[in-house]
Amino acid sequence: MELLRPSSLEELDGGLLLHGGTEVVPLLREGLLETERLVDVRGVVPRGVDGAVIGAGTTLAELEVEPAIPDALREACRLAASPQLRSMGSLGGNLLQATRCWYWRLGYDCRLHGGDRCHARDGEHREHAIFANEFCASAHPSDVAAALVALGARVRTNQRELAVEELYRLPDEGNRSTTTLESGELLLEIELPPAGASVYLKAMDRKRWAFPQVGVAVARHEDGSPRIALAGVAPIPWRIEGVDDLDAATPLPRTEWKVPLARALVRRALAALA
Amino acid sequence: MSALRLTVNGGEHVLDVPVGTSLAQILRDELGLTGTKIACNEGHCGACTVQIDGVPQLSCITLAHAVEGEVTTIEGLREHPLVEAFVRADAVQCGYCTPGQVVSAAALVAANPQPTREEIRHAMAGNICRCGTYPKIEEAILSWQG
């Protein structure tokens, strides 16, 4: 294996892209990712906050103490992972982290790995999805993604510009990916639209350093309407219009508990912004 | 194999190791700095915590060839008053997580010499102690200046 460290985007030419390494290194070690060429992109991805634009290479630790960003994003960063991981992990990397589904992580031949069944649906799934869980029951773990979707953020890559929401797709028979990222595509910057107050609330199985059981981000937009996005409830960050949308959840037998939890957090978040 | 230049506890090292080797492996197996512990080896537990330019990071999931900056391990903090504070507070049971705890705590007090309990809990959350010595670790950090 070789490690390349390009200093300009023009030098990018294939390989497995690596930033903080908090996700890529363990997945390489487990054999869930394979490459002969690692590309350390820290030299080419912008870092830092400039007005409404955040470099995708900014670490979560930098953002959790950044007064110039919306509350929901700052809080999502503060409640994510552990201090060491927040110091290593980048905003862009956080958005692209893989599922915590234990079957996927253990290399089971599940649908995300190209197989023909979701082992979680019939097996252990207490941490899994309550929406869109028919094909794959994994739950998206990114607090930050939910916050950025609620905030209506956009992302600029080395190939295009799109809403953060459009970065994600539900996996299906023909395409098992949970992102719309193309090969060689690299997140460069996140742009935040003007927004009013925002909040991020997170339920965890312990008080610190845990993935979201349910995370709820709500941002009030210019027209006064709240925009709600959830983490930990579907294979991708999940938008709902209001608390009543939780009535349409399709929980698995052992994820039913997440529905009232999500309902309570959404109510609490909306009340916090009222 | 690929050349690697590392600064650890103020000393320069030039090595030739395969890309993919973790910083923790280099510290322990190549440099003999076995104070840095490997427990989970996947970035969850904090036992392998070292400072890179003063910031606590996880050496077990840090690729040695990607290190930018100076590494400080527990051996480099041998004279830090926190070590004595941990002993005074009896903040050790099995001791396996302790080097990582001290490395994280040293970075905390460098930035914030008199942290509150809440600040300690936030900054130390990435160092897990399965013996449950957390109250004594808090006490050690609260009283580190003697």
Reduced 3-state DSSP string for A206-266: CCCCCCCCEEEEEEECCCCCEEEEEECCCCCCEEECCHHHHHHCCCCCCCCCHHHHHHHHH
Tokens read off for B27:
């510290």
Helix (H) or strand (E) holding B52: strand B49-52
Rounded to an integer, what is the distance from CA B32 to the centroid of its chain? 15
Pairing, β A187-191 against β A214-220: unpaired
pLDDT of residue A139: 98
Give the pLDDT mean for A194-210. Answer: 94
- The tokens for A128 are 């899994």
Q: What is the per-residue pLDDT for B15?
A: 97
Nearest residue of chain A to residue B59 (CA atoms):
A84
Indicate whether B32 pLDDT > 80.
yes
A85–B49: do the CB atoms touch at under 8 Å? no
Q: Rounded to an integer, what distance in angstroms lies between the CA atom of residue A109 and that of residue A118?
A: 9
Residue pair A214/A262 in contact by the 8 Å Cβ criterion: yes
Cα separations in angstroms, A15 against A2, A12, A89, B43, B59: 10, 8, 20, 23, 23
Question: If you measure CA to CA, which chain A residue comes closest to B121?
Answer: A208
| Alpha-carbon span A68 to A90, nearest angstrom | 18
CB-closest option in A18, A29, A209 to B126 = A209
What pLDDT is recorded for position B59? 98
CA distance A41 to chain B (A): 10
Q: Which of residues 55-94 of B touch A (CB under 8 A)?
A: 55-58, 61-63, 65-66, 68
Q: What is the mean pLDDT of chain B?
A: 97
**In this predicted structure, what is the pLDDT of residue B42?**
95
φ, ψ of residue A218 in degrees (nearest 5): -130, 130
Q: CA A100 to CA A134: how far, in whole Å?
A: 17
- The count of C-alpha atoms lying within 13 angstroms of the C-alpha of A253, restricted to the half-sphere facing its C-beta, is 5
Substitution target in A62, A65, A82, A208 with the highest count of B β-carbons within 10 Å is A82
Residue B7 has pLDDT above 90, yes or no: yes
Residue linked to tokens 């069944």: A117
Residues 119-138 in A contacting B (C-alpha not used; CB under 8 Å): none
In this complex, which of A1, A26, A84 lies closest to B46 when CB atoms are compared?
A84
SS (H, E, C) B120-146: HHHHCCCCCCCCCCHHHHHHHHHCCCC
Q: Contact at 8 Å (CB) between A266 and A240?
A: yes
Nearest residue in B to A83, CA atom: B126
Which of B37, B48, B63, B65 should we substitute to test contact with A (largest number of A Cβ atoms within 10 Å)? Answer: B63
CATH code for the domain defined by B2-73: 3.10.20.30
Structure ipTM over 0.90, yes or no: yes
Distance CA A58, CA A65 (A): 12
CATH architecture of B76-142: Orthogonal Bundle (1.10)
- Name which of A40, A84, A208 is nearest B66 (Cβ-Cβ): A40
Neighbours of B39 (CB within 10 A): 16
CA B42 to chain centre: 15
pLDDT of residue A195: 80
Closest CA to B56 of B121, B17, B106: B106
* CB pair distance less than 8 Å for B61 and A208: no
Q: Do A21 and B122 touch (CB under 8 A)?
A: no
- Of the pLDDT bands very low, low, confident and very high (cuts 50, 70, 90), residue B1 is confident
Asked if B122 contacts A208 with a C-beta cutoff of 8 angstroms, the reply is: yes
A26 close contact with B: CB closer than 8 A = yes
- Token pair of B67 as six digits: 């290190």
What does the pLDDT read at residue A15? 95
Model confidence pLDDT, tens digit, residues A206-242:
999 999 999 999 999 888 899 999 999 999 999 999 9
What is the residue extent of each domain of chain B?
A: 2-73, 76-142
- CA B48 to chain centroid, in Å, comes to 6
Residue A264 pLDDT? 98
Give the phi and the psi of residue A163 in degrees, each rounded to 5.
-70, 145
User: Stretch A48-55: mean pLDDT, rounded?
Assistant: 97
Beta-strand ranges (E) seen in chain A are 2-4, 16-18, 37-40, 49-50, 53-55, 154-157, 161-163, 187-191, 198-203, 214-220, 226-231, 238-240
Give the minimum alpha-carbon distance from A20 to chain B in angstroms, rounded to a whole number: 8
- Say how many C-beta atoms besides its own lie within 10 A of residue A33's C-beta: 16
List CB contacts (< 8 A) between A83 and chain B. Answer: 56, 104, 122-126
pLDDT digits (tens, 9 = 90+) for B71-122: 999 999 999 999 999 999 999 999 999 999 999 999 999 999 999 999 999 9
DSSP B28: I
